[in-house]
Structure formats: C-alpha cells, structure tokens
Amino acid sequence: MKLFLDTANLEEIQEGVRWGVLRGITTNPTLIGKESSDFLPLVKEICSIVDGEVSVETTGDDTDSLVSQGREITQIADNAIVKVALTPNGLAATRKLSDQGIKVNMTLCFSATQAILAAEAGAHIISPFLGRLDDVATDGLRLLSDICEIYAVQSYETQVLAASLRHPLHVVEAARLGADIATMPFKVFEMLVKHPLTDAGFKKFAQDWEEAKPHLGELLPSMQQEA
C-alpha cells in the first residue's frame, strides 16, 4: 500500500520525502487555503518535491469547466493528476478526461454505488472518505472493504485510495483490506513510526553502548566519529 500525505504544507511534505516512504500527495481546497503561498507556485513546488502523483482538486460543478480545469492541471507538472468530486457532472467530466488519457482521482466518495460509477467512468483513483463517515456514526472501514471486494470481483483497474484517515488503526486496516493507497494528515503519518518501547529501547542501547565503548577495542570508523 502506497503512503500519501494529505497536505499542501511544504515542510510536512519535505519531511515525508526525507523518510523515504512517501509515494504521493493529495490536496484539496481546504488544505491549499491553509497555506500562505499562491496556488500555482505552491502546487508546482509540491510536484517538484514529490516523486509520485499529486492530486489537485477541480472546483465548481460544470462538466465543461471541470474538463478544462483537468487539462490545465495536467499542464502544471507530469505528476499532477486531477481530482474531481463524485457528482453526475463530475462523472461526465471523468469520462471525458479519462478518454483523453488524463488520470482522475474521484473524491468525496461515501458509498459503494458511487465507487462503481467512478470505476465505470474510467477513474484512475477512487477516494472513499473513512473518517467523515465515522463522524456520522457510519462504518468507514466497512465501505472500504466493500469497495475493495467489488473492485477485485469486477477486475476494475481503478486504484482504491483510503482517504480522510484519522488515526493509525485506519491505516493498518486499510492495508489489511487491500487499499492501494492511504492518504493521511502529517500528524497521523508521524504516529505510524512512534512506539514507546522503541524510544525506551533506543535510549537504553545508547546508554549501554557509551558504557561499553571504552573496553571494546577497535570500532568501525563511523562509530568512532558519531556524536
């Protein structure tokens, strides 16, 4: 399962890239609006930092306008892909864009029927929003499970992107259910690596090493240099 960050924040993206595990970015108008940079330079910068797909969301709900925006988004960078909301006009735009070979991430998916429609429209990615369903006392993971099962049975090539993730268990379950991609806020991404036993064990090994070092004789050159 590929790990994406759901952010438009350059520092967060740079840190994710540094870890060597970041495979792409999802943005939306809310996330873009939180940053102080202008839209185009910001999106260009994100696309240049990340070696992977960057979803850039269209606005409005007029099919022709969505198609035009989609074409323009693909001009921003080779790895910019088009995010379109799962409305009837969004489906029509996705069909037109995918017929032109343009990759579309259909977003704001809250039902299996919408996911079937997105796949039939030729979407490259479907984004079910787990956390927002959980927020209204509906099982987001159940939806993800349904979509993964349906797509497998139907041999749809549309990739399943688990979106609106709120905590590490969402990520674990998305991987277990067979999602192709999980996108998450940076705070959830950071939580994936944290474990108190890792911290405690790391500290103890460091202390024991410092005590043992004086009587261990010759060490590797890089061990001698370490701070």
Kindly state the number of chain residues that form the binding site for ligand E4P, as judged by CB under 6 A: 11
Tokens read off for 207: 């202390």
Q: Does 28 bind ligand E4P (CB under 6 A)?
A: yes
> Distance between CA 134 and CA 152 in Å, rounded?
24
Residue closer to ligand E4P (CB basis): 63 or 183: 183
183 binds ligand E4P (CB under 6 A): yes
Which residues is 181 bridged to in the sheet? 2, 161
**What's the distance, CA 187 to chain centroid?**
13
Token pair for 3: 């790990």
Tell me the residue type at 111. Answer: S
**Residue 107 in the binding site for ligand E4P (CB under 6 A):** yes
Would you state the structure tokens that stand for residue 126, as one six-digit string?
A: 């479907």
φ, ψ of residue 217 in degrees (nearest 5): 70, -145
φ and ψ of 121, to 5 deg: -80, -5
Among 131, 134, 168, 180, binds ligand E4P (CB under 6 A): 131
Closer CB to ligand E4P, 69 or 183, in the complex: 183
Closest CA to 52 of 84, 77, 83: 77
Could you say whether residue 53 binds ligand E4P (CB under 6 A)? no
Q: Kindly give, in sequence order, each residue whose CB lies less than 8 Å from that of residue 140, ignoring residues fewer than 6 positions away.
A: 128, 129, 130, 131, 132, 133, 134, 164, 170
Q: Does 23 bind ligand E4P (CB under 6 A)?
A: no
83 in active site: yes
Q: Out of 5, 6, 121, 171, name the contact with ligand E4P by CB under 6 A.
A: 6
Q: Does 95 bind ligand E4P (CB under 6 A)?
A: no
Residue (159 or 214) nearer to ligand E4P, CB? 159
Q: Does 163 bind ligand E4P (CB under 6 A)?
A: yes
Whichever of 137 and 153 has its CB closer to ligand E4P, that residue is 137
Which two three-digit tokens encode residue 30?
């809310």
Residues taking part in catalysis: 83
Q: Which residues contact ligand E4P by CB under 6 A?
A: 6, 26, 28, 107, 127, 129, 131-132, 163-164, 183
